[in-house]
Copies of this chain bind each other. A is one copy, B any other.
């Protein structure tokens, strides 16, 4: 682990997405454990072993899951900044067993857009050799924001 992990690659990406729901609704889907679990942690092909969310500054979110029978992956997040209905900044890391995959800072900005919301998701991260997949992270994040749209449309 130690040889590869110091080979750290940094990357930043931004995704913009407009939702028809108001900022308070879109924000709430990040704050409510039942809603967040649905769009963030429960996905096709994923087996979720553990999920917890404590939505407050310094509060954590943990997800342990496997994808299509693969090894267990752990996501550990801690909330850094919360401005209700406007802004969330989180720090999170991914690991496979003892092997760190990545560490990231993500900024989520909610701006009123007509009756809806323009959400801007910016992730600044460091990816460790053997685990990091920068391209896949951006695609995965885009998929999660799409899944969020579905949960909101279902009334979440």
Interface residues of A (CB under 8 A from B): 1-2, 5-6, 8, 10, 12, 58, 76, 78, 80-81, 83-84, 86-87, 89, 91, 93, 100, 103-105, 107, 109-111, 122, 124-126
Known: A6-B86, A10-B124. A80 touches B109 (CB 8 A): no
How many copies of this chain does the complex contain? 2
Q: List 25 A-B contacts (CB under 8 A).
A: A1-B83, A2-B86, A5-B83, A6-B83, A6-B86, A6-B109, A6-B110, A8-B87, A10-B107, A10-B122, A10-B124, A58-B76, A78-B78, A78-B91, A81-B93, A81-B100, A89-B93, A91-B91, A91-B103, A91-B105, A103-B107, A104-B105, A105-B125, A124-B124, A124-B125
Task: Indicate whether A103 sits within 8 Å of B83 (C-beta atoms), given known contacts A124-B12, A125-B124, A126-B89.
Answer: no
